[in-house]
Structure 1
Amino acid sequence: MSDATATTDGLPDGLTVGQVSARLDVTVRALHHWDEIGLARPSLRTAAGYRLYTAGDLERLHRIAVYRETGLGLDRIRAVLDGPAADVPGALRAQRAQVAERIDRLQRLGAGLDRMIDAHEHGVLLTVEQQTEIFGPAWNPDWPVQARQRYGDTAQWQQYAERSAGRGPGEWQAVADSVADFERALGEAMDAGVAPGGPEAGLLAERHREVFGAYFPLTRRMQVCLGRTYETDPGFAAHYDAIRPGLAAWFRRVVDADARAHGIDPSTATWE
């Protein structure tokens, strides 16, 4: 038998596996697999045993490739091609429904990625009006941008952004309420004469870490660094001292005492 016989509709009978692969943009491996499972076997072979595909074989392979492109599985394709009363439109409609579901999932994934990107770049995904309503009139909408400029290359900013991406106004309101409740508790504890190093003060330090965890996980060493900032940074100090005069310095002592109780020297604690 020759390697090429007569042509049908302009296509030569006796195309090799390599020729079919190039013509249909299907891998040789796929063609061999379809042959092995009986889905698309070549009708001819050379005397040496090499596979040769006829024009009819090529038409079947073309249909398989088209159905594969739509996402149909090989068993379903076999049923469509060989079933005695194959409902091709029905099979395609069912596949179209599955494709629509995948598109919807991908669109939702894309929207989630957009929010994640925005959160990494902007910190808080709220309008200026929403921020003011939730965080109060003293809130500066530029603060998240300034924080990103300062901390954007840190793991903590990434963790903060990942939490922010999943939050809408309701979730942020819950965070703001939790912070406000904690700050009220600080003021009341200071008024009540709670001493740094005591059990009540230790619970306040623990609660601070839990509340702050809405932004990113806070270790005791990191908390010590924050305590320093609360006392020495003019903006933070003014915020806490507006709650109670001297609150920033008092809370730093609370944090430092809690750190010492857990074997941490506040004077050498670093952001880790």
Structure 2
Amino acid sequence: MGYTVGQVSAFAGVTVRTLHHYDKAGLLSPGERSRAGYRRYDDADLARLQQILFYRELGFALEEIAEILADPQANALEQLRIRQRQLSEEIGRLQRLAEVAERAIEVQQTGVSLTPEERFEVFGEISFDLSYAVDAQLKWRDSEGHREAMARAGAHTREDWRRLMAEAATWRAELLAVHADGEPADGRRAMDVAEQHRLHVTRWFTPCPPRMHRRIADDFASDPRAFALLVPPSQQRPGLAAYLARAVHANASRHTPVEEPLRRNTDEDPDRHGRIAR
């Protein structure tokens, strides 16, 4: 007797149009017809439909399904292995995108609530690169220091940001002067500038021991987006980021014997968001 296309559509969860398409494509042609010429599906057809829907759920194209069903012994296992790898890669990609979206939301939520005019007044040429902020969120999401810095940054008032940026501008002018004067990066003057930056991070964002400060400085030297949060492009000079990194490392060595005796398992992570201004 068989099943009508409407019956199969109902209990298989597919549309009649889809069943007609499978028929025209030669993927699932009913084994029977009624006297009036209507399609009739038998048990073998339903079993084949179940296989088709299984492969469709896994994302196979109809042409690929047709090849597998034409010779299931030769094609099914290898095709499934390939698809498994593809799905695993896609799952990983989607997980990364979900994390990025989550961190982007956090960045936006902890941002400074200012009008465009106020933002320009406070930050001037310093611009926020959301891609860098999101990357920092992903990399340091398990860092207590990063979480604290984000929370403190989000709690700063407009007046706080004005004071912070004014302090950062004064520091930046000193950095540029030291660099222009040709002071050695491991000299006292350059190390003092590096120490001022470390204290700035501690004062406005999160405690910044020398080991953390080294890692922050390395990021300045390796990622232009990070250094642009510190020194706007119009004020940057060739080699300035690397110069600052060397000064920070020298200053860290100067302070480490006092501040970090025998501390080998320090877990502090650099605060990326805290590099808005220094």
Shorter chain as normaliser: what TM range? 0.3 to 0.5
The structure, 1 or 2, with the larger RCO (C-alpha pairs under 8 Å, 6+ apart) is 2
TM-score w.r.t. the length of structure 2 is: 0.47
Bigger Rg over Cα: 1
